[in-house]
A and B are shown apart, each in its own frame.
Chain A
């Protein structure tokens, strides 16, 4: 008696937790706290958007500097893409054999032609001088008044006279101060740049000579003295990591890496939504079909398994939200397969249970035996699926990765839901 009450208690706890998890997975009700309403991360095929693959031409860059050059390029492009107000843009460097690629994913960009044009532009590095104080104040005042003429004017800096740009910068590199071992960034100008730089430093001793990339400030060093040799150091309280980043940005402007668009995929937003709705519909119909089937085949056992299956689905959705997993059509296929495998675990157990009952063993023992004996099959078949997923995840490209990841998550959760959950339900309901 005491045991059965405990079992019932466990079931109630599970159900309450599942309802909470279900609310989190659904996340559409108004009364829910905001963090329940995190949206799912949808792949481009479901949300609509564009995937661009660029090939970078690094023939002008030395072998050892290539990784750094690509990082600089990525930063530049990421900044530009951010200007588009894209939600979670993804820009990543992929090395394939000897060539470097840049994958850019833009969800929900309306004007793709414009985006492609902007991404393809050469990064623009320039040096800017401080404005006189009065000018700064005036601009700030006008901006406060929302004077449209001043909306995009930089109140603090103005392009240097004469103009010093990325094409005069030979290269930038990361160095360490020989005495203090602090990281610093060394700049080297070409002949013409040396002259301009000398003039600018002479004119701006004690003032800031700002460095801008694509119209954004990346460094604001103060000129200490006139520099005529065309070599300068930027020192300051930065970490090696920050200094490295600055070097990458400077080089992106000094040695622009030409990129070529080699592949593009665009899915219209309406079409993405259409796929998403169809997939949800097919998923719900499939789930209902399985539940009906299980209940017809196994009665009360089937009810318990169906309950576990619903919780299983909710748990998967919760994980998708938490990690977050990017959902795509192929990922949904992986999830559907994992439902099949989760159900299979239950069918294995129940069939074993029926066998034991036939032998004349009483229900509770039969159930225990059913679980015990079905376990090796469930374990072995699931482990081989896990091996498959791991290989696929590590050795293939994005689409199949999505499939593998969802299948992997599904199989791992199913080992828990189809066994632990179903068992808790059966313990409480089978007398």
Chain B
């Protein structure tokens, strides 16, 4: 049996460094919001073996008053052009101008979002995440209501949420770094990935907490530390196996899935890993420390 409580400080240090790095990168670099959040347009062209000069495309956009235009190749046969939001008339005019120059080029995808829509999406996403967190705390408080000893049931909920914040901070921080150094933007897919991690992380933490709840009921003689340790050890195989299966699927998605879902799959993969890690090394030990802290304060009085 591994004594997780004894070695918890090591995990705290590792997680502390990771979360701190994540938050520092977030504060310094921020996230690079994609078009979905700030408005903008993207045009994807299929080149069909035509040599297209990005300068020419930029020039065409500039003729219609779009100054910041970013032309990047996508795949071997495509071109992605990003700019601020483009009205329908200009869109048609630009396409016509491009076709005039290169008549083999095909329009594959065009998206244009006004800034209003982006702001809405951002607000809605934030509201949803906050509501989910509240909902989970309330449910756990209720589900663990019979185990108010030695720690009150709402503390399970709050601890699960702390582990959750840990789990979503790390991939978010990573995206701040990716955004800074590789220009990776966050889009609605990223929000979906975060929400998935959120669901998985809580799911995973609950399984361990549930075992603690059962242990405390069936073995009243155990100390809190012992109950936690035994519970983590007994659920260890399950935790690892489950996240392994999920990670297998995600790796399949990463390798075989659509290219633009690459970062989506990556976020999920990292989130799954840390979700499992935190439910073993962070969540339950935190519960223990909280308990210790309350004990000490009580003894002082």
The chain A residues found within 8 Å of chain B, CB to CB, are: 53, 55, 96, 113, 116, 261-268, 270-271, 274-275, 278-279, 281-282, 285-286, 289-290, 293-294, 297, 329-330, 333-334, 336-337, 339-341, 343-344, 347-348, 351, 355, 373, 376-377, 380-385, 387-389, 391-392, 395-397, 399-400, 403-404, 407
Please give me the residue from chain B that is nearest to A385 by CB atom: B199
- Residue contact B143 to A380, C-beta cutoff 8 Å: yes
Assembled-state Cα–Cα distance A343/B113 (Å) = 39
Residues of A contacting B261 in the complex (Cβ-Cβ under 8 angstroms): 329
Contact with A along B87-129 (1 / 0, CB 8 A): 1100110000000000000111111111011001100110110
A to B CB contacts below 8 Å, 17 in the list:
A113-B88, A262-B113, A263-B114, A264-B111, A265-B110, A267-B109, A268-B108, A268-B109, A278-B256, A279-B257, A293-B245, A351-B237, A380-B143, A383-B143, A384-B202, A384-B206, A385-B202
The chain B residues found within 8 Å of chain A, CB to CB, are: 44, 46, 85, 87-88, 91-92, 106-114, 116-117, 120-121, 124-125, 127-128, 131-132, 135-136, 139-140, 143, 188-189, 191-193, 195-196, 198-200, 202-204, 206-207, 210-211, 213-214, 234-235, 237-238, 241-242, 244-246, 248-250, 252-253, 256-258, 261, 264, 268
Please give me the residue from chain B that is nearest to A261 by CB atom: B88
Contacts A271-B108, A289-B252, A396-B124; A344 near B135 (Cβ below 8 A): no
Residues of B contacting A377 in the complex (Cβ-Cβ under 8 angstroms): 206-207, 210-211
- Residue contact B242 to A96, C-beta cutoff 8 Å: no
Residues of B contacting A275 in the complex (Cβ-Cβ under 8 angstroms): 258
Nearest chain B CB to A280 CB, angstrom units: 10
Please give me the residue from chain B that is nearest to A286 by CB atom: B249
Residue in A278, A330, A355 whose beta carbon sits within 8 Å of that of B257 in the complex: A278
Residues of A contacting B135 in the complex (Cβ-Cβ under 8 angstroms): 384, 387-388, 391
Residues of B contacting A376 in the complex (Cβ-Cβ under 8 angstroms): 210, 213-214
A-B contact count (CB 8 A): 196
Residues of B contacting A334 in the complex (Cβ-Cβ under 8 angstroms): 192, 196
Nearest chain B CB to A295 CB, angstrom units: 12
- Residue contact B136 to A297, C-beta cutoff 8 Å: no
Residues of B contacting A116 in the complex (Cβ-Cβ under 8 angstroms): 88
Assembled-state Cα–Cα distance A99/B75 (Å) = 40
Assembled-state Cα–Cα distance A268/B136 (Å) = 40
Residues of A contacting B210 in the complex (Cβ-Cβ under 8 angstroms): 376-377, 380-381
Main secondary structure of the interface of B (DSSP, over half): helix
- Residue contact A380 to B256, C-beta cutoff 8 Å: no
Interface pairs A-B: 6 shortest CB-CB? A286-B249, A340-B246, A262-B114, A381-B203, A377-B210, A286-B252
- Residue contact B132 to A387, C-beta cutoff 8 Å: yes
Assembled-state Cα–Cα distance A384/B107 (Å) = 43
- Residue contact B256 to A395, C-beta cutoff 8 Å: no
Residue in A263, A297, A407 whose beta carbon sits within 8 Å of that of B241 in the complex: A297
Assembled-state Cα–Cα distance A207/B94 (Å) = 52
Residues of A contacting B112 in the complex (Cβ-Cβ under 8 angstroms): 263-265
Contacts A396-B128, A400-B188; A340 near B256 (Cβ below 8 A): no
Residue in A264, A266, A290, A373 whose beta carbon sits within 8 Å of that of B249 in the complex: A290
Residues of B contacting A347 in the complex (Cβ-Cβ under 8 angstroms): 238, 241-242, 245
Residues of A contacting B120 in the complex (Cβ-Cβ under 8 angstroms): 96, 397
- Residue contact A400 to B195, C-beta cutoff 8 Å: yes
Assembled-state Cα–Cα distance A407/B192 (Å) = 11
Nearest chain B CB to A40 CB, angstrom units: 18
Please give me the residue from chain B that is nearest to A331 by CB atom: B192
Assembled-state Cα–Cα distance A336/B106 (Å) = 33
Assembled-state Cα–Cα distance A294/B238 (Å) = 12
Assembled-state Cα–Cα distance A3/B170 (Å) = 53
Residues of B contacting A404 in the complex (Cβ-Cβ under 8 angstroms): 195
- Residue contact B113 to A263, C-beta cutoff 8 Å: yes
Residue in B44, B203, B249 whose beta carbon sits within 8 Å of that of A289 in the complex: B249
- Residue contact A399 to B188, C-beta cutoff 8 Å: yes
Residues of B contacting A297 in the complex (Cβ-Cβ under 8 angstroms): 241
Q: A330-B189, A397-B120 are in contact. List 9 more A-B contacts (CB 8 A).
A: A261-B88, A265-B113, A289-B248, A333-B192, A343-B242, A343-B246, A344-B238, A376-B214, A387-B136
Assembled-state Cα–Cα distance A113/B248 (Å) = 43
Residues of A contacting B202 in the complex (Cβ-Cβ under 8 angstroms): 381, 384-385, 388
- Residue contact A262 to B117, C-beta cutoff 8 Å: yes
Assembled-state Cα–Cα distance A96/B108 (Å) = 30
Contacts A286-B248, A387-B132; A341 near B124 (Cβ below 8 A): no
Contacts A351-B238, A377-B207, A387-B136; A392 near B249 (Cβ below 8 A): no
